[in-house]
Structure 1
Amino acid sequence: MKIILNSNYKTKEKSILQLVSHFFDEGNLIVQGSRNTIKSNFIGEEKVNIKFFQKPGFFKSIIYSFLRSTKAKRSFDYANYLIDHHIQTPIPIAYVEERNSLGFLGDSFYICQQIDYDFTIRELIHNPLFPNRNLILEQFTEFTFKMHEAKVNFLDHSPGNTLILETGDGNYDFFLIDLNRMKFEDLSLEMRLDNFKKMWLSKQMVKVVARKYAQLSGQNEEKLSQLLLKKTKDFKRKITKKKYWKRKLM
């Protein structure tokens, strides 16, 4: 079993390994997926989040064992990159990988700070009357622009993957989660707007985002609004069509 620790948690190694060893028997369930499970637990008095990545199948095992970083390692490394560039994400604490004698990956875990957030963008999408909706969207757009300026292309920038915490006086903090799918590169305008398409924004929300992003980037607001609206509609159409054919084939 291999463990890589945040330097601030070097003295907590034994406690972290104990959390991993008792993962299936202890802790509070947050997400139960088909392959990944997320629980919360405690290291001393600190509440932490533990994400379990199930042992990959044979072919993926070869890839993750010898050709590509594991999901747990990417989560840890990407979180550190974000924090180094002043983009908020739950503080990475450690990642743990189990490997056999031949070096093949088994189960793996990512441990980070637990954020007790107030809501996500999903709540804004489903409730047009959500308090301070436009203000939150503007601040979220500023957060995303800052992310783009730091050369972060977050491929899973979707409604549930940014936790939002209200800090008072009309201000909000945003925390990226589910960090496995990222690229670090210079982003063209097309790529930047592409990064918003999975947010499932309404036409009104698109206008708010486009206006704020135009202010921040110096781009033409109308141009951004039209491009973003098209990308959003195309994405919604693609997902709706995919769901339709999935139902038909079931």
Structure 2
Amino acid sequence: MSILNHRTVVLDPQFKDLEEFMLSIPALFTENKGVVIHKGRNELRRIEYKGVEYVVKAFHRPNIINRFVYGVFRPSKAKRSYHYANIYREIGVGTPTPVGYMNIRKGLLFDRSYYVTLTSTCPYRYEDLFTHDFPYAEEVLRAIGRTTAVLHEHGYAHKDYGRANILFQQLEDGSIKLEIVDLNRMAVGPIDMKAGCKNFERLPATPEMHRLMAEEYAKARGFDAQKCFELMQAYRSVQPGKIDGLY
């Protein structure tokens, strides 16, 4: 392929036979193939290939300055998503199985990128806790507290830890499966109690919901549960912003 229109495909070894599918993705989007999951600044589609269903996230084309920056200096959002998905899985945090990513560059300018995963089996999102009656809702909230603690103990904080980016389901044995999505923006560095509790600020919650998450989060990290609860309540009551000290 000409350097004027260069495509870089990276695949997890278990999906090494999917290069043809990856290269076809731009055309599939152009032809409106698959099922639209979300369409906004970025677009998510569920696409079937050879009997297997994948979720493809197409990131928007950056402005001209960022096209140069991403083309030369910075990793693409798709590459970051793939990188962090593998880290999540290494530390035991759920996320849909990463398949790979593709970057498209035109000369020195970055053009588009695509991130591909297997389709999650989790049918619900955090926001569904407010519209459905789950007899296991307490277990979901406690699982979120524990899972968030694992991420923070390893020095990772999701920068868009919101209502649509935490997926869940109850398994046959009664345990809760969580999967976190939209991983391209991650704060990396030591996370203390204040920064950790601030990371919950984008999750709407009643006081009882905050208390359940705070109890598990504090237990896992050796913090005071009451203090964590008070911090979560306080941070949720103000305009969400960046996590202090993390970039």
Stretches of 4+ moved more than 6 A in 1? none
Identify which of 62, 65, 69 aligns with 2:71.
65
The one of 211, 214, 222 equivalent to 1:210 is 214
Per the alignment, residue 245 of structure 2 pairs with none
Q: Per-residue displacement from partner, 1:94-140 (whole Å, max 9, x unpaired)?
A: 11111112x2111221111111322111111455x532221211112
Residue 47, structure 1, aligned to residue 63, structure 2 = no
Q: TM-score, length-normalised on structure 2? A: 0.88
Q: For residue 123 of structure 1, what is the aligned residue in structure 2?
A: 128
Cα distance, 1:38 vs structure 2: 0.7
The separation in 2 between residues aligned to 1:15 and 1:41, in whole angstroms, is 10
Counterpart in the other structure of 2:109: 104
Could you say what secondary structure the match of 1:198 adopts?
A: coil
How far apart are residue 215 of structure 1 and its match?
2.3
Answer with 86-95 or 61-70: which moved more: 61-70
Match of 2:142 in 1: 138
The counterpart of 1:93, out of the listed 88, 99, 106, is: 99
- Residue ranges of structure 1 left out of the alignment (5+ in a row): 239-250
Render the CA deviation track for 1:146-169: whole Å, top value 9, x for unaligned: 121222111111111011122123
User: Which ranges of structure 2 fall in alignment gaps of 5 or more residues?
Assistant: 1-6, 242-247
Of 156, 160, 166, the match for 1:152: 156
Instruction: For 1:27-46, list aligned pairs within 5 A.
Output: 27-33=34-40, 35-46=41-52
Q: Is the 8 A contact 2:22 2:102 kept in 1?
A: no
Q: 5 Å matches for 1:167-178?
A: 167-178=171-182
Q: Distance in 2 between matches of 1:232 and 1:125?
A: 17
Q: Residue type matched to 1:151 in 2?
A: G
CA distance in 2, matches of 1:70, 1:122: 29
Q: Distance in 1 between matches of 2:102 and 2:95?
A: 19
Q: d(CA) in 1 for partners of 2:45 and 2:8?
A: 20
Contact kept in structure 2, 1:120 and 1:159, CA below 8 Å: yes
Superimposed CA distance per residue, residues 201-226 of structure 1 (whole angstroms, 9 cap, x where no aligned partner): 12221111122222222222221211
Cα distance in 1, alignment partners of residues 25 and 114 from structure 2:
10
Name the structure 2 match of 1:189. Answer: 193
Q: Distance in 1 between matches of 2:188 and 2:36?
A: 32
Structure 1: which amino acid aligns with 2:43? Answer: T
Higher share of residues assigned helix: 1
- Does 1:5 pair with 2:6? no
- 1:246 equivalent in structure 2: none
Which residue of the partner structure matches residue 247 of structure 1?
Answer: none
User: CA separation in 2, counterparts of 1:225 and 1:125?
Assistant: 20
